[in-house]
Structure 1
């Protein structure tokens, strides 16, 4: 019997991401983040000037830097040596006042210092992180717990109904899937993602005392798709179907998270 992967296994996998892959995502992530995810995240967050924002699972820190450029007071949390080290290196080279903390999101330390006002972050962003965590519920709990009452939690995931959109579109000219309700692993180039139905994420969000504000299923601008078609076969699929699901919710009551 194959043992279930642990969060430590996932961290070790993501720690193998080579530096050239990180540099290729400067300054605003990869194609999908640039055209589909980032614009929605920034719109949902609104005016971030002087807002205390936690970038939960910040990776190599590109979105933390985008938020800091817009005037936010950013704390980034990342567990892997490779990406945490890269983010710290960028901050030393071009200081933006970002505080980076190396920690497992499921075992988040106290991130507030004596200069923080209030009792939590104004917003927590967790972009494309939850699908990479085998035991993900403690990570979502940590994100919500880090918010002040009324704070905004924004997260993005691979759209559970259309996760392998580009692959199947290239093969069939349409999207096909055979499994949705069960949880299963999706091997990637360097690590593994995990499929879960939409209900898993939304039900956990409700259980944690959050009120849903918005769900977005962004589609690619047809003009952008036409420009990219020469080097990205099947990219037109992103015009017709959503490859990502982005959720914004407010923490509206306190809760006592389970261990």
Structure 2
């Protein structure tokens, strides 16, 4: 019998990420975050000045720092020693007033007053037992607060890989949940309905879903170093949603 994956095992995988990889993602994440994910997250959040925001699963803290630069009062939660330590180190150097807390999202400690907004970017697909994490994000909000999350688009998760191999996109499994081994850790495929139905079960009101595509000019500039990047012009590799807590 195969042992089910655990959150602790997933955290252990991510804890092995090399420091040079984190440094390479300064100051605004990798290529996809910079061009596809960040602009949508920031637009959905709107004016964050003076707002109390939780960056749930903040990793090495780059998005927390982007929010603090825009005037938000940020708390970042991260379970891994490696990325939590890096985020703290950056805060000591920059003094942005970000509070970092080391914790598993499924076992959040008390974080003070409810938040105006919670961001959970590219985190839920990395968590085997993800529903308690999503529930904790929603419960951390004040009534009417905004929950914004991004995931690999469930219909186009392996977009770049299959496009490079076939010149188009091919998908053979969608409806069930299954692990997707990645370079550094394992992600988990779930159909879009799993995320949206869980939001509905928590009473959230969906405000927007975005499926960002890459600007053709940006794709042309990157095609020599990233073969197949034109696939991001035609199909969405990411899905970003905004919902309100009742």
TM-score, normalised by the number of residues in structure 1: 0.95
Q: Is 1:30–2:25 an aligned residue pair?
A: no
Alignment of 1:1-259 (within 5 A): 1-112=1-112, 119-252=113-246
1:53, distance to aligned residue in structure 2 (A):
0.1
**Secondary structure of the corresponding residue to residue 50 of structure 2:** coil
**Secondary structure of the corresponding residue to residue 215 of structure 1:** strand
CA distance in structure 2 between the aligned counterparts of 1:94 and 1:217, rounded to whole angstroms:
33
Gaps of 5+ in 2: none
Q: Deviations over 1:173-201 (max 9, x none)?
A: 10001000000000011110000000000
1:80, distance to aligned residue in structure 2 (A):
0.1
1:42, distance to aligned residue in structure 2 (A):
0.1
Length, aligned pairs only: 246
Q: Deviations over 1:89-110 (max 9, x none)?
A: 0000110000000000000011
CA distance in structure 1 between the aligned counterparts of 2:203 and 2:95, rounded to whole angstroms:
36
CA distance in structure 2 between the aligned counterparts of 1:227 and 1:86, rounded to whole angstroms:
31
Gaps of 5+ in 1: 113-118, 253-259
CA distance in structure 2 between the aligned counterparts of 1:235 and 1:183, rounded to whole angstroms:
27
CA RMSD of aligned residues (A): 0.5
**Secondary structure of the corresponding residue to residue 60 of structure 2:** coil
CA distance in structure 1 between the aligned counterparts of 2:67 and 2:162, rounded to whole angstroms:
34
TM-score, normalised by the number of residues in structure 2: 0.99
CA distance in structure 1 between the aligned counterparts of 2:46 and 2:158, rounded to whole angstroms:
30
CA distance in structure 2 between the aligned counterparts of 1:3 and 1:163, rounded to whole angstroms:
24
**Secondary structure of the corresponding residue to residue 100 of structure 2:** strand
CA distance in structure 1 between the aligned counterparts of 2:58 and 2:22, rounded to whole angstroms:
12
Q: Deviations over 1:82-128 (max 9, x none)?
A: 0000000000011000000000000001100xxxxxx5100000000
CA distance in structure 2 between the aligned counterparts of 1:135 and 1:91, rounded to whole angstroms:
30
CA distance in structure 1 between the aligned counterparts of 2:217 and 2:64, rounded to whole angstroms:
28
Runs of 4+, deviation exceeding 6 Å: none
